[in-house]
């Protein structure tokens, strides 16, 4: 529990340091590449990812590999407000062979290879 709390605090501190609600017009800040999330913290079974969003906001994803769970938070850029958007156990997701897939589906490819 302490490890989890420490990771959450570290990720939020890092993100809030880059999202300053009262920044002046002349201030500029370096932003991570928007095309991929950045791994910002890893502590044992916990991984934290930050992904820039519209409005200078951030999305934080925290994955607990041991428990097989994922949390998603959004941080509003202008206000710095943090909102938990989703919490999910991933156990059943990993049991799916295919979902939202497009043709050729994985089972169709397997059938072609096995012929």
Q: Where are the domains of the chain?
A: 2-114
Going by C-alpha positions, the residue among 29, 35, 25 that lies closest to residue 14 is 29
Compute φ and ψ for 14, nearest 5 degrees: -60, -45
What are the angstrom distances between the C-alpha of 49 and each of 36, 70, 113? 10, 11, 36
Q: Output the pTM of the full model.
A: 0.59
Select from 92, 84, 96, 44 the least CA-distant residue to 68.
92
51 and 37 Cβ atoms separated by less than 8 Å: yes
User: Of the spans 2-16, 34-48, 52-66, which averages the highest pLDDT?
Assistant: 52-66
Q: Which long-range contacts (CB under 8 A, 24 or more apart) does 32-36 make?
A: none
Q: What percent of the chain has pLDDT over 70?
A: 64
Of 81, 30, 36, 77, nearest in space to 58 by CA: 77
The pLDDT-based confidence of 30 (bands split at 50, 70, 90) is very low
At 43-78, the pLDDT tens digits run 788 999 999 998 899 999 999 999 999 999 999 999
Q: Look at the block and give the residue holding tokens 């044992």.
A: 44
pLDDT band of 12, cuts 50, 70, 90 = very low
Res 25: pLDDT: 37
pLDDT of residue 47: 92
Cα–Cα distance for residue pair 40/1, rounded to 1 Å: 19
């Amino acid at each position: 529990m302490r490890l989890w709390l420490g990771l959450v605090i570290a990720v939020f501190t890092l993100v809030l340091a880059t999202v300053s609600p009262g920044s002046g017009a002349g201030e500029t800040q370096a932003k991570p590449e928007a095309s991929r999330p950045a791994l910002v913290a890893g502590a044992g079974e916990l991984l934290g990812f930050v992904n820039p969003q519209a409005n200078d906001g951030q999305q934080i994803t925290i994955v607990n590999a041991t428990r097989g769970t994922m949390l998603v938070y959004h941080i509003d850029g202008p206000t710095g407000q943090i909102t938990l958007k989703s919490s999910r156990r991933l156990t059943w997701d990993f049991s799916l062979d295919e979902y939202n897939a497009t043709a050729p589906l994985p089972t169709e490819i397997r059938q072609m290879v096995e012929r």
